[in-house]
Structure 1
Amino acid sequence: MDSLIETLGAIQNGDDNDQGLSSADEKKLINIYAAFDQDDYDRETIRKAIQMAVLKAIRVDQIQANYQITPDTIANVIGYIMAGVFHDKKQLSILDPAMGTANLLTAIDHQLQSSLGIDITISGIENDDAMFELAADSVELQKIHAELFHEDAVQNVLAPVVDAVVSDLPIGYYPIDANAKGFSTHSETGHSYVHHLLIEFGMDHVKKGGFGFFLVPSQIFQTSEAKQLLKWMQGRVFLQGLLNLPKELFQNSAAQKAILILQNSGNGAKQVDPVMLGEFPSFKDQQAFAKFLTEIDDWEQKDLF
């Protein structure tokens, strides 16, 4: 992972910052960098190349689960839902409060620009040093203008207020109880769930009537800690949808994730009836998958607005 970060930096700076190489190896590497011209590749190709390199680094270094990249299949589904929600927008601002390497954020940015043809501004927050560096390099190599914050979102970052928040949330407990105390979703006893805190942070940075699209555990409302999350939601946000992703994508049912769709109150927003609930069919079953997307389209057009 460190080598990848160093290489991406060298590509942009046009020099070699490697240490500990023989002069012959250093010269060889400089020649490789010199032969690479990023202008030969479109931004989506560069994003996918970085994604593949990160995936290899995760596998080789045996890095923890929270470093895992959101697969493009899932990013495409979230982007599809967002395109339907924001189909009439002329401009759109998006924030990811736990952006990781920014693969989800930049994939959705590309997808929405391609499908809607609108001006999109993106912002992201990431606390981990390595992931932030990879995100910053990826955004720069893709020539995307973005506002990135190397911060812990739970520590009250001065992030922008946006039209939509989107995030593949880290799952687990937040270790610093004092930082969580300012959140309505904090646990009464012991550590708080970081994904609950980040949902609250995200929706606090969405405009009135704006949306949040979060990848969360499918059982998010069935845990003992869900009480505080549901209490916070009342009167503040509308639960508009919860769509389970196909079980085949996960090692077991406990690891299954869902797309949670929330909408801030205000600006004419209302609780949709019915709430969009369901489970995506297998991505391999193209006919069933296309039918489910059509049902989402119908729900967005007839019920959500």
Structure 2
Amino acid sequence: MNMGQRAVEQLYKRLDTTTALLKSDLEVSYLDALIETSENILAGGQIHVDAGLPHPEVRQRLTEQYQQIDLVDLDPETIRQAFQLAILRGEQTDALQANHQMTPDTIGMLMAYLIDELAGLKDQDQVLDLTIGTGNLLYTVLNRLKQTQHLTLTGFGVDNDDTMLALADVSARLQQATVTLYHQDAIDDLVVPQVDLSVSDLPVGYYPVDQRAEKFDTHAQSGHSFAHHLLIEQSMCYTKPAGFGFFLVPSLIFQSEEAKSLTKWMTSATYMQGLLNLPRDLFQDQRAQKAILILQNKGGQAKQAPKVLLGEFPSLRNQEQLRHFMAEISAWQQKNIV
């Protein structure tokens, strides 16, 4: 185990230990206890006490743990990784539904790699995630661009689940990321600014409010519309001309009857620059395989790539094939993206 991994493991153990103490003493869910312990850490180890809880003996044990945590010595990516391990523990403990589960780190890293290679971001650019959840995907992207290109980016996130948003909030503050969060339905009218990049791990399913969906070109002709179709359109509406959108979607997204309106809108409003399937061995069922859809808004210097980036990531266990595939992506970018 290298020093970076050891730092992640040590911080995770502190988070998990203090969360478990609060979960038991306050009789709350693991994720609610994780939010509580994070707030205590952010307060410099000052423990929030309400109606005598947590009990004095628990407070003493918490204080001993908090004294071992020094965020100043840790980089944001170490903090993010430790926090996402705690969230994973919470997902298992609290038995979250599928659409509330965090974007796996493997997928987040591949998404961040593609954005780094293709999006052409500049310092102080703004990034939007309309389905931010716990924030893991957005923060993976922000941290990678900080590490590889020394870019300081501003993040914006939207979610209608207050627990997920609270987790995203404390995670951002622990990492000292510049992020603004909004608690609302992402399909509604938003107050977020026009951004340079949109990124999202899209929930798959039907959107229940037909009247709101009808304002979108991607809405279904009858019955409920696909939420992921609407969210793609909404994301690109809040993205600047020539700005990119990177979306985690089902690999079979264009093979449903409802895909006709999505394809028609995409052709009129954006350039589809790529669709890359994620490694097949990441998914137990081939029908559940996901892909990364790469769109670019029309306008500015943007133009349709003469050759759309299509393919499938090789298994991450095959490092030689993976390096070759990434070299092909880099070569494609130099030939096809302005």
**Which TM-score bucket, shorter chain as reference?**
over 0.9
- The answer as to 2:42 corresponding to 1:12 is yes
Deviations 1:74-128 (CA, angstroms, capped at 9, x unpaired)? 2222222212224473442211111111111011101011111223111111111
- The 3 A distance-change label for structure 1 pair 286 and 228 is same
Contact residue 248 and residue 293 of structure 2 kept, 8 A? yes
Consecutive aligned runs of 4 or more in structure 1 exceeding 6 Å deviation: none
Change (3 A) 1:23 1:61: same
How far off is 1:60 after superposition? 1.3
Matches within 5 A, 1:39-188: 39-87=72-120, 89-188=122-221
- Structure-2 separation of matches of 1:172 and 1:300: 32
User: Which residue identity lines up with residue 182 of structure 1 in the other structure?
Assistant: K
Q: What's the secondary structure of 2:272's corresponding residue?
A: strand
Give 1:266-285 correspondences, 5 Å limit: 266-285=299-318
2 CA distance for matches of 1:56 and 1:274?
42
Report the 3-state secondary structure (helix = DSSP H, G, I; strand = E; otherwise coil) of the residue aligned with 1:159. coil
Unpaired segments of 5 or more residues in structure 2?
A: 1-30
Which segment drifts farther, 176-185 or 250-259?
Answer: 176-185
178-187 or 137-146, which moves further after superposition?
178-187
Contact 2:130 2:186 in 1 (8 A): yes
Indicate the RMSD between aligned Cα atoms, in angstroms.
1.6
- The structural deviation recorded for 1:59 is 0.8
Cross-structure match for 2:298: 265
Structure 2 residue matching 1:140: 3-state secondary structure = helix
Question: Is 2:334 aligned against 1:301?
Answer: yes
Instruction: Give the secondary-structure state (helix, strand or coil) at the position aligned to 1:122.
Output: strand
Contact 1:16 1:29 in 2 (8 A): no
Q: In 2, distance between residues paired with 1:22 and 1:82?
A: 47
Letter in 2 for 1:7: T
Alignment check: 8 A CA contact 1:185 1:196 kept: yes
Equivalent in 182, 201, 204 of residue 237 of structure 2: 204
CA–CA distance in structure 2, aligned partners of residues 189 and 17 of structure 1: 52
Secondary structure of the corresponding residue to residue 164 of structure 1:
strand
User: 2: distance between equivalents of 1:147 and 1:285?
Assistant: 38
- Letter in structure 2 aligned against 1:147: T
Letter in 2 for 1:16: H
Q: Secondary structure at the match of 2:275?
A: strand
Asked if the contact 1:101/1:134 (under 8 Å) is kept, the reply is: yes
CA separation of 1:17 and 1:187: change in aligned 2, threshold 3 A: farther
Q: Tell me, yes or no, if the aligned pair for 2:271 and 2:295 is still in contact at 8 Å.
A: yes
Percent of aligned pairs sharing the same letter? 46
Determine if contact 1:165/1:206 at 8 Å carries over to the other structure: yes
Q: Does 1:217 align with 2:250?
A: yes
Q: 2 CA distance for matches of 1:238 and 1:281?
A: 25
After superposition, give the CA deviation of every residue in 1:36-61 in whole Å (9 maximum; x if it has no partner).
33223221111111100000010111
Partners of 2:39 and 2:243 in 1: CA distance = 36
Contact 1:10/1:17 (<8 A) preserved: no
* Structure 1: runs of 5 or more not aligned: none
Q: Match of 1:154, SS?
A: coil
SS state at 2:125 partner: strand
Instruction: Specify the SS of the correspondent of 1:262.
Output: strand
Describe the SS at the equivalent of 1:234. Answer: helix
Give 1:3's aligned residue. 33
Offset of residue 27 of structure 1: 3.1
Q: Which of 176, 190, 209 in structure 1 is aligned with 2:223?
A: 190
Paired residues, what number?
305
**What aligned pairs does 1:227-238 form with structure 2 within 5 A after superposition?**
227-238=260-271
Per the normalisation by structure 1, the TM-score is: 0.95
TM-aligned CA deviation for residue 131 of structure 1: 0.4
